Amino acid sequence: MFRMRSSRRGSFRGLMLLAICLFACHELFVVSTSPTAYVDAAGVDGGSLVADHGVKIACLVVVLSFFIISTEPQPASPPPAEAVLEKRADYNKVLIFSAYLAWLSGFVNAVCILQMGMTVAHHTGNASHTGRLWGIDAQRFAMSIVGFWVGAAVAGYHKCSGETLYCGRWSPALLSSGIAVAVAVILQHDGAGPLVSVPLFAFSQGLQNAVTRKHSAVPICTTHVTGYLTDFGSGIGAWARGMVDGSGPGLRRPMFFALSFFTFGLGGYAAKKSSDEYGVQAAYIPAALMMITALGLVPMSPPKEAKA
């Protein structure tokens, strides 16, 4: 009984903290909104109910995600005994599934670039744009950064497991990410504008990446791959040196980074082909796949138990 009350109190305090963050973001949005920050929403000439209440709808999705993620089973899925990525028995599973998640993120990110001129999965450029356009048109980039941060914060508050996704089990965080993408598509398509839809797209990516980075073998980044390019180059360099002196590592780790880098770009290619036909609604494809995967419908074997 005491634990249940403590859990409820913790959830209430977390929700209150989230509400304060959302209120602050809302005030920032209202104060900083300027006509120059908007890109026309696809296919909408006038306002609509969704457009008029877009900020409230986006905030409700974040609150809903907070409660959905709290349903993740505890204790979390146990990691295999071997902690080194390239030596794990489930290396191939982690390799393919990480590449699949990178493809989904690359798809979402490219749709936002093509339809709204914004990135939502990585924020190095957004940070630079926020700085150079401060006082002019920085809010659209700043709100994308804030959305990503809030997604990561929600995942961190609930201590989401980095193993659950890779075991094919119920993943409320990825479900929430898919829902956020789907609602962001609706908001953008119905006229709410990028200042509302882009932070929600970014929120979905922050959620996904915060979960995968908790993987026990290596912090897996599925929404941005700049670091992966570094790791791939460094790994190939170490492998090449090993070919000379016979003491270098193998190719399993650098190939892990290379495949995710490639599939992230492949997601962009798929986004271009589909968004030419469907516009921002092309993002329904990764949204649906996220939700299907989150329900554990992708056949994955559980991790092997550690030997006594």
Instruction: Give 93-136 pLDDT, tens digit per residue.
Output: 889 999 999 999 999 999 999 999 889 988 888 888 888 888 78
Query: Span 197-202, mean pLDDT?
Result: 93
**What's the whole-number mean pLDDT along residues 39-53?**
60
> Higher confidence at residue 247 or residue 92?
92
SS3 of residue 181 by DSSP: helix
Q: Tokens 């990764």 — which residue?
A: 286
Q: How confident is the model at residue 203 (pLDDT cuts 50, 70, 90)?
A: very high
pLDDT digits (tens, 9 = 90+) for 251-293: 889 999 999 999 999 999 999 999 999 999 999 999 999 999 9
Amino acid (one-letter) located at 47: G
What is residue 121's DSSP assignment? S
Mean pLDDT across 208-228? 88
